[in-house]
Structure 1
């Protein structure tokens, strides 16, 4: 079967792009032909109007959800959106016909509310071509503050009709049980839960000739402890919790031999490594920098050194995101909201211990597997500035666990090996294959 996976962007390190890569690999191993449709040039079929940061769409988002300021009326904005939808629909229909697409898999196009014209266009083309579709919903508009209160009434109508649409041609896939229940409640739609998965049969990430200089390139000494926070830089990732945890970890007695035989001395540091995409969140970045400075946590902002895959940029070596796991000693995953948890799976595969905040989907879909994790609990408060904090006593159990992971080789080894086995059994490509066979 000829299958097209569609999204606003492809070939990048955001969670949806990573998950699409996994679906593609598994579908191709099942014997299907797969292409990408997106707004970025990495896709076989590029429709620029779909791009995540397409300037016209950014203007639509601003005026639909924040403030109607660039158009004289709602009607004018609506007409522009309709015109853009018609343009996308024409391109999409032509490309689908030309490529002989038999199954379309839109990712977040019918759920997030980010690109209104794209959703309208996709629905029209699916209807016109009677095209079998599996709509993969990673995030819903009702889960995000931005989309929850549109400033234009017609936008509410679009969200109601297209996000997601109720159509016989479309089967719906969600990534967690909370979303499954909410979709049924709001739209009366049944859906299949397909969790995030990972390739647990690939070779383990290890130090090799390519990444052996990574610590040195980052200015990290061999005996320094690296705390990796591998997510994108976004407020819902609550990176401030990870920084505070790191600050408190610095106060623990870590002197002496570490789990792997390295000696941690007074000249060594705890490094907080951030390789993820910053995506222009300047206000949040400045807050994190200030928090780190005040708590004397050394952050390395390393997004310019990492990409989806190893490559070169301007004659400079670029490392894979996976290389950051190789040099890390401990992973923090402190999101207060996640659709599932790609970076958690990555950490489990990398056989690294994890400090986790128990976000709602963790509790509903993951906690039942009894992974060995250092937990910060599941309750948080908002600070006066709107950022996230937790009660002081919630840090203590996680700190004790983390110190043991860093100092006790046997304890650490047992924990990460058990985690790997649990994850490989429940979140592997084989599990995805079984679920896709039922869907397609």
Structure 2
């Protein structure tokens, strides 16, 4: 049965993780024969989007509500005045959503994070009321929950707690729930008695990132030689990414550089005394304090570090006579990918490294340990135990680090083992985390909604 589906979030057509996952869901749902309409507060680079202005991620009115609901009640006379504004906006969202449901004959609405965080209280209330007043069925796709964020832990008013308990997420016979990992599934049931289905983040494993005419000069553009080793950190620069663990790996590899000198690498390049081990950071800096800590840590350890984010975007382009590479160009040229996060909801850059067919240095953050480790990927493993130093940065035990770098050196110097490892990882990923795997899951889930 073909359905008219509304795919909803605060924003679409952007490069945030939720928007990118929604793009994949839209592709698959349309492949399955359904009609899909985006519903959001902003359209990004897309044109065909149903807009509800109050959903905008940076809506001024909602920003004021968030400040007064979770930080300090100061812009409103009292809690009743705050509640009135929240419910007025909720009514407006409800009316607009009902109009879209009627106009587009929506059968199923898939709501991303609107019922999850409590970021936009009015949206959660408005969406719930619209769904319960119509005959539409709903799937809540939860990427995060309010109890996972410090921001939402101490509301200024008791009624905010009531809202979080009632709507984030809500219980209703026509509302089903999807989470992205098993920890979230267990926690949702423990806290709210709500059952859910795990649908992991996925990627298109049929893409091929190779060195071509456009990116052939990538290394030269950043002063990197063909026989240098590039260790890529593709994540955003925020503290939970644990980038300091990757720096420790690079420092230990540098300390044992002589084990590489005079030998052919996995890619047939001869590593010489002049060859360097380059730590390449491609992601956006979203935490200046942490960024400075990382840069200082790298310099103390004499690590050659390059931050190239101003030359990296989601797509290739020429901007102000400056050549912009895609993130996939960085993957094509790197030798090793570090994914040493301390906390993640899933692991998008891990999947990207699988697609790129690169050796991965990984840390077993909780979701990795529960959901990814059982898939039996072969990585350079930093274990699941870390401590925090006086400077606030994390470290793993020295014996774990030493063993990991031993394994890394073996892979760098053994072409057959390198290729076999990345190929096997790719095949496991394709079977479990590809668009095809998502298609099978979504077909079952949507069929159950009919």
Match of 2:54? Answer: 49
Question: 1:69, 1:396 → 2: CA distance?
Answer: 53
Please state how far the C-alpha of 1:225 moved relative to its aligned partner: 1.5
Aligned to 1:184: 189
Please tell me whether the aligned partners of residues 132 and 169 of structure 1 are also in contact (alpha carbons under 8 angstroms).
yes
SS of the counterpart of 2:407?
A: helix
Distance in 2 between residues matched to 1:47 and 1:215, nearest whole Å: 44
Aligned to 1:261: 268
Counterparts of 1:24-423 in structure 2, within 5 Å, are 24-42=26-44, 43=46, 44-200=49-205, 202-253=206-257, 254-256=260-262, 257-278=264-285, 280-314=286-320, 316-423=322-429
Q: Distance in 2 between matches of 1:287 and 1:166?
A: 44
Q: Which residue of 1 aligns with 2:6?
A: 4
> Does the 8 Å CA contact 1:12/1:307 hold for their aligned counterparts?
no
Tell me how far apart the structure 2 counterparts of residues 348 and 15 of structure 1 sit (CA, whole Å).
18
Which shifted more, 30-39 or 306-315? 306-315
Bigger drift between 82-91 and 174-183 goes to 82-91
Aligned partner of 1:16 in structure 2 is: 18
Cα-to-partner distance string for 1:329-360 (whole Å, 9 max, x where unaligned): 10111111111211111111111010111011
Larger radius of gyration: 2
Contact 1:376 1:398 in 2 (8 A): yes
Partner secondary structure for residue 266 of structure 1: coil
Shift of 1:85: 2.7
Distance in 1 between residues matched to 2:282 and 2:91, nearest whole Å: 38
SS at match of 1:211: coil
Maintained 8 Å contact 1:89/1:124? yes
Give runs of ≥4 in structure 1 deviating > 6 Å: none
Q: TM-score, normalised by structure 1?
A: 0.92
C-alpha contact 1:225 1:270 (8 A) present in aligned 2? yes
Unaligned runs of 5+ in 2: none
Q: Distance in 2 between matches of 1:47 and 1:274?
A: 37
Q: 2: distance between equivalents of 1:265 and 1:46?
A: 57
Gaps of at least 5 residues in structure 1 are: none
Counterpart CA distance in 2 for 1:258 and 1:124 is 61
The whole-number CA distance in structure 2 between the counterparts of 1:392 and 1:71 is: 54
Normalised to the residue count of structure 2, the TM-score between the two structures is: 0.90
Post-superposition CA distance 1:91-127 (Å, at most 9, x none): 3333343333322111111112222222222212212
Question: Would you say the 8 A contact 1:110–1:119 is kept in 2?
Answer: yes
Partner Cα distance (1:354, 1:296) in 2: 22
1:247 and 1:296 in contact (8 A); partners too: yes
Q: What is the total number of aligned residue pairs between the two structures?
A: 438
SS at match of 2:384: coil
Partners in 2 of 1:315 and 1:87 — Cα distance? 46
Q: Is the 8 A contact 1:13 1:277 kept in 2?
A: no
